[in-house]
């Protein structure tokens, strides 16, 4: 099957970049589908050694970037993702492939293989994936 045109991933709004720290927050929200500031903090503050204030800042920046939306719930907000994880991951992957491998995804795989970044498990998994695709 050809790839060509698929879903129109982006409606036209700005492709506001999400920073690394912001991404960590997104990850939590994607994971639980929805979260409050406190919940996000609970999930990452310790791990990344952040204060709640930091999480709040990141959340508002993400709202500005329209990566998440807010729904009031009493005195606090419930945050929900506006962009899908799969889209984000896809975008980032593409950026990498474009920047480092001239847009050729196969080159990425080749690189991983050559530098032995692929475990045996990885290899057989990839094999399975290919087999699946061939059908």
**Of DNA, a second copy, none, which one does residue 46 interact with (CB within 5 to 8 Å by kind)?**
none
Cα gap 109→16, rounded to integer Å: 28
Quickly list H helices, 37-84: 37-48, 52-64
The answer to whether 68 touches 62, Cβ cutoff 8 Å, is yes
Q: Whose Cβ is closer to a second copy: residue 82's or residue 86's?
A: 86
Q: Using CB under 8 A as the criterion, which residues of the chain lie in contact with a second copy when the complex forms?
A: 1-3, 6, 20, 23, 86, 89-90, 92-94, 96-97, 99-101, 104-106, 108-113, 115-123, 125-127, 129-130, 132-134
- Asked if 26 is part of the footprint of DNA (rule: CB under 7 A), the reply reads no
| Least distance in angstroms from the C-beta of 63 to DNA | 7
Q: Whose Cβ is closer to a second copy: residue 72's or residue 133's?
A: 133
Helix (H, G, I), strand (E, B) or coil at 75: coil
| Least distance in angstroms from the C-beta of 112 to a second copy | 5
Whole-angstrom CA distances from 117 to 57, 92, 113, 129, 132 are: 36, 19, 6, 18, 23
- Asked if 29 is part of the footprint of DNA (rule: CB under 7 A), the reply reads no
Cα gap 26→63, rounded to integer Å: 11
Give strand pairing partners of 77.
72
Instruction: Return the residue of 13, 53, 105, 117 that touches DNA, per CB under 7 A.
Output: 53
């Amino acid at each position: 099957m050809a790839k060509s045109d698929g879903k129109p991933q982006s409606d036209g709004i700005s492709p506001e970049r999400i920073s690394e720290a912001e991404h960590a927050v997104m990850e939590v929200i994607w994971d639980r589908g929805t979260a409050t500031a406190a919940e996000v903090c609970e999930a990452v503050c310790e791990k990344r050694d952040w204060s709640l204030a930091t999480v709040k800042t990141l959340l508002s920046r993400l709202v500005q970037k329209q990566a998440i939306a807010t729904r009031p719930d009493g005195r606090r907000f419930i945050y929900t993702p506006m962009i899908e994880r799969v889209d984000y991951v896809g975008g980032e992957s593409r950026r990498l492939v474009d920047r480092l491998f001239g847009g050729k995804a196969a080159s990425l795989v080749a690189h991983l293989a050559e530098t032995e970044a692929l475990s045996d498990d990885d290899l057989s998994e990839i094999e399975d994936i290919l087999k699946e695709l061939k059908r």
